[in-house]
A and B are shown apart, each in its own frame.
Chain A
Amino acid sequence: NAGVTQTPKFQVLKTGQSMTLQCAQDMNHEYMSWYRQDPGMGLRLIHYSVGAGITDQGEVPNGYNVSRSTTEDFPLRLLSAAPSQTSVYFCASSYWGADPQETQYFGPGTRLLVL
């Protein structure tokens, strides 16, 4: 198992550019989510999905879009990058079951710099 993989590892964008951060997992997890982490801060939830075709907003969704066409993939799109979106982005996945808190598995992160 590769676990949760994220690409790219590092990206530099200019203000106004768009891009897609890729996230994939091979554990057949129903639940996937995106977080951003700013320096000295905890993780803030951007969007999450409980299965293919189902997505929902987290704490800080503005400026980001997601889709979930397959169980394995959960890409995050930046529509028009802004310097305020400079951050480290983590993707996570877990089972979605009766247990109210399944263990989350995190990817290695994508460092994004918006100039």
Chain B
Amino acid sequence: LAKTTQPISMDSYEGQEVNITCSHNNIATNDYITWYQQFPSQGPRFIIQGYKTKVTNEVASLFIPADRKSSTLSLPRVSLSDTAVYYCLVGGPGGADGLTFGKGTHLIIQP
């Protein structure tokens, strides 16, 4: 499974755009990139998924360069409620080992 590297923590302020970058140098041809969000005392929940270029939904955007060795989750105009841990995953249930979560990025939004 492709290993991912992302910052342990990030700080920002309400109303700002936040970009969290994840490195996945050994991503396989068939791998997708997925981001999950986890609030304290809750299970993770799906945010966005992509294969290449750019994907946007009502919550976030995901930017993937042509070599796919990294990806950037972009959260527009964050609020206090966006304080959470964000996980970048590559690969998934289609693989033999299921999903592998790293430690994620703890995003703290301040007023």
Using a CB–CB cutoff of 8 Å, the interface residues on chain A facing chain B are 4, 31, 33, 35, 40-45, 48, 50, 56, 58-59, 90, 92, 94, 96, 98-109
Contacts and interface: CB of A to CB of B under 8 A. Distances in A.
Interface in B56-111: 87, 89, 91-104
A105 B97 CA distance: 17
Given A100-B92, A101-B32, A106 B44 contact: yes
B43 A101 contact: no
B95 A100 contact: yes
A75 B87 CA distance: 26
A104 B46 contact: yes
Contacts of A105: 46
A77 B89 CA distance: 27
A92 B92 CA distance: 12
Interface residues of B, number: 28
A35 B32 CA distance: 21
B41 A101 contact: no
A40 B104 CA distance: 10
Contacts, number: 80
B97 A59 contact: yes
Interface string B6-40: 00000000000000000000000011101010000
Contacts of A98: 94
A103 B92 CA distance: 9
Contact of B43 (A44, A90, A102): A90
B18 to A, nearest CB: 20
B103 A41 contact: yes
Given A33-B99, A42-B101, A42-B104, A100 B94 contact: yes
Nearest to A90: B43
A44 B101 contact: yes
